[in-house]
């Protein structure tokens, strides 16, 4: 019973904090994005010039760097964005809006939202398999690395 109250209180606090910062998002409750499809986002433009939008993922206290999905766009309060089709389905995404004129202080974030996608598995980057090879001839030792392609 206390868990829903916690989420409501946290969301209200995040919303109140975001409204005090530059260019607060004005996304509807239940906002979600489908990867590969155009989506219109909106915010209250409080700074001059252009802005950039990044897609970030993770816990709100530790968001990954993410990817730029729009850069140097007019700060009109509205933009249509399209996430890459291979974006992984998850519920811990946020949009970041950055004033291009003052990127260190005029920054804001959306509330967490869901990205709907056919891709349900995070990409795994695996290094090429390698094997250390040591050759000793007389008093000389040579160490090299042999990969699976060798």
Question: Using one digit for the tens of pLDDT, what is the confidence trace for 65-77?
Answer: 999 999 999 999 9
Q: Read off the pLDDT of each residue in 85-93 and give the average, rounded to a whole number.
A: 96
How far is CA 107 from its chain centroid?
14
Q: Read off the pLDDT of each residue in 75-81 and give the average, rounded to a whole number.
A: 97
pLDDT at 118 over 80: yes
Give 129's pLDDT tier (boundaries 50, 70, 90): very low
Task: Write the DSSP symbol of residue 25.
Answer: B
Q: Read off the pLDDT of each residue in 111-134 and give the average, rounded to a whole number.
A: 70
93 or 131: which leads in pLDDT:
93
- Mean of all residue pLDDT scores within the chain: 81
pLDDT at 104 over 50: yes
pLDDT at 17 over 80: no
Q: Give the helix/strand (H/E) hosting 8.
A: helix 2-20
Are 3 and 11 a contacting pair, CB within 8 Å?
no
Are 83 and 76 a contacting pair, CB within 8 Å?
no
129/5 Cα distance (integer angstroms): 49
Give 8's pLDDT tier (boundaries 50, 70, 90): low
């Amino acid at each position: 019973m206390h868990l829903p109250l916690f989420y409501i209180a946290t969301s209200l606090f995040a919303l109140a904090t975001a409204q005090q910062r530059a260019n607060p998002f004005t996304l509807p409750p239940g906002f979600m994005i489908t990867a590969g499809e155009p989506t219109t986002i909106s915010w209250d433009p409080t700074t001059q010039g252009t802005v950039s939008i990044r897609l970030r993922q993770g816990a709100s206290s530790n968001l990954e760097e993410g990817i730029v999905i729009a850069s140097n766009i007019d700060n009109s309060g509205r933009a249509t964005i399209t996430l890459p089709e291979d974006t992984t389905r998850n519920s811990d995404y946020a949009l970041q809006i950055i004033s291009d004129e003052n990127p260190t202080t005029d920054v804001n974030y959306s509330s967490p939202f869901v990205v709907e996608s056919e891709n349900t598995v995070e990409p795994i980057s695996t290094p090429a398999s390698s094997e250390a090879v040591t050759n000793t001839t007389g008093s000389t030792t040579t160490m090299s690395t042999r990969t699976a392609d060798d």
